[in-house]
Structure 1
Amino acid sequence: MRAAAGPDPLAGREVPFRGGGFRPGARRWVAPVLFVVIIALIEAGTRSGWISDLTLPKPSDVFATLVDLARSGLLWKHLGPSLGRLVVGASLGAGAGILVGLAIGLFTLARAGLVPLVAALFPIPKIALLPLFVIWFGIDETSKYALIAFGTFTPTVVATYGAVDAVDRGLIRMGQSFGLRWLSIVRKIVLPGALPGILSGLRVSLAIAIILLVAAEMLGAEYGIGAYILEAGALYDLEKLFAGVTVLSVLGLVVSFLIGRVERLLLGWRG
């Protein structure tokens, strides 16, 4: 006869999931280390002559230029108008885009009428419309707001109604089976389920807004990061040019950080 098997030593032991539950781990030190390594390599390459000064300036010279800009106050003269244009234009475009995207995702009639319109507008290069906006709104701030808003609007619409479509229909049917009203289902099921996709879309939309901000400021703006970069490029002053590009990169990091904070605040229920 076969002997009875003893107790399984693995019984009751929790087996860790190798994928980590698909939860991104916090490795905040990786990005700063990678950034420092890249800057150090460029600095070493430019000082040794392996990288030509006509191609890339020394990062130390770019940093010194940024310090001089901040001390002279010229940095804030350019940064202030750019931030104002970005906030106004992106707020208008993203706000309208979220509303239209929700309407498309929730109402059949809106989907039938607006999806083809958005699909026709989305591929149009928004920078190419800058002369048209100048004709319509003039060369002052209104045309810049309009360009940034329009460029932010279409990707936000697409991201929003795509996020609504991705909400689990089983949860919606469950809410209906419990007798929840339409508005309660939207507020308690659809909006929380779509929020991660909407915020992810905002990351892309705001990056586009920064690009369009620079383009708008290169046409008829006395102050602004785009105007500063255009002036530095015309003079072939690489230190000032890369200083302006660095400011834009930092601005993009700040925007991404703020969206990340909003995600942690609103999406804490995901665990």
Structure 2
Amino acid sequence: MRAEKGVVNYDPYETEQQEWKKQQGKERVKQLLTIISPIFILLLWEICSRTGILDIRFFPPPSAIISTFFDLAASGLLWTHISISLYRIAAGFLLGVIPGVVIGLLMGLYAPIRHFISPIVMALMPIPTLALMPIIIIFFGIGDFSKVVTIAGSVFFPVVINTVAGVMNIEKVHLDVAKNYGASPKDFFFKIAFPGALPVMLEGIQMGQAIALLTIVAAEMMGATSGIGYLIWTSYKAFMLKEMFVGLVLISSFGFLFSLFLRGLQKKIVPWR
């Protein structure tokens, strides 16, 4: 706004700049709150442990947990557990996501396939994958591949369901235009269904990565001799709670980092969302 001889002139550029500065200020506040909240929790935990409000035997202070982390890292044992767990998570995640996306697209595009597979998906989805571990171990043994299959089974269902929902939500006009121009099944699959379902599909993949982390911990607790879940469980049984908390913090950190990566990927692939 500029006043000249009693007349107020409206300057759209100046107004736009002010709005942009306000928006930037709000974003900085949000980022600051995101950083402050975990630091506040850690400081509160440290104070409560040091002052005796929390029993240090069960809730060691974060500073002691950090020290234990460096001790385990220096021994090399921690990196062995991390590398094995990351391999199982990555392999199981891909083994669940790829078939989930393909089958979800086919179910969304073709009603006969949808009606044939939907009852199977609906029947198996409520069963916790960990409850099927005895059967998985019978078929695949007690090695790494059984853990990979367990994770894949947990990831598959949210991905396939969200992919189907994404295809079904594509506006009918896009499908009609493709038919009128004689689009091939390949064009329908890769140029209509896949990009149209992508926003909802990525939400399913985001959910799948969280489930993969939950599953790997439980799977490694039940039948493994290595991995972060194994570290957590054996440390708990030996009452080595600092080592147990190191494992819990690692899983939490992986979940946070994986989520950030997928959110960044989502912004690149579907910027309109």
TM-score range, shorter chain: 0.7 to 0.9
* Map of 1:196 onto structure 2: 199
Q: Does 1:76 align with 2:83?
A: no
| Shift, 1:112, TM fit | 0.5
Alpha-carbon distance in structure 2 between the residues aligned to 1:156 and 1:192: 15
| Shift, 1:46, TM fit | 1.3
Amino acid at match of 2:183: R
| Shift, 1:174, TM fit | 4.5
- Say whether the 8 Å CA contact 2:108–2:164 is kept in structure 1: yes
Alpha-carbon distance in structure 2 between the residues aligned to 1:159 and 1:55: 40
* Map of 1:61 onto structure 2: 64
Q: Does 1:219 align with 2:219?
A: no
* Map of 1:50 onto structure 2: 53
Alpha-carbon distance in structure 2 between the residues aligned to 1:236 and 1:91: 35
Tell me the alpha carbon deviations over residues 148-195 of structure 1, each in whole angstroms, 9 at most, x when there is no partner. Answer: 111111121111111111222233335445x25154354334322211
Query: Which of residues 85, 89, 92 is equivalent to 1:89?
Result: 92
Alpha-carbon distance in structure 1 between the residues aligned to 2:199 and 2:139: 36
| Shift, 1:70, TM fit | 1.4
| Shift, 1:25, TM fit | 5.7
Q: CA RMSD in A?
A: 2.8
Amino acid at match of 1:266: I
| Shift, 1:103, TM fit | 0.9
Alpha-carbon distance in structure 1 between the residues aligned to 2:223 and 2:69: 24
The 5 A counterparts of 1:191-270 are 191-268=194-271, 270=272
- TM-score, length-scaled by structure 2: 0.85
Identity of aligned residues (%): 32
Which shows bigger deviation, 240-249 or 150-159? 150-159
Alpha-carbon distance in structure 2 between the residues aligned to 1:196 and 1:52: 46
Query: Which of residues 103, 106, 128 is equivalent to 2:131?
Result: 128
Greater fraction of residues in helix: 2
Q: Does 1:169 align with 2:172?
A: yes
Q: Does 1:184 align with 2:187?
A: yes
Alpha-carbon distance in structure 2 between the residues aligned to 1:88 and 1:199: 18
Amino acid at match of 1:72: S
| Shift, 1:34, TM fit | 0.8
* Map of 1:39 onto structure 2: 42
* Map of 2:152 onto structure 1: 149
The count of residues paired between Structure 1 and Structure 2 equals 258
Provide the secondary structure at the position in 1 that maps to 2:222.
Answer: coil
* Map of 1:21 onto structure 2: none
Alpha-carbon distance in structure 2 between the residues aligned to 1:163 and 1:62: 43
Amino acid at match of 1:155: P
Provide the secondary structure at the position in 2 that maps to 1:93.
Answer: helix
- Say whether the 8 Å CA contact 2:105–2:189 is kept in structure 1: no
Provide the secondary structure at the position in 2 that maps to 1:124.
Answer: coil
Amino acid at match of 1:204: M
Change (3 A) 1:186 1:220: closer
Gaps of 5+ in 2: 1-8, 20-25
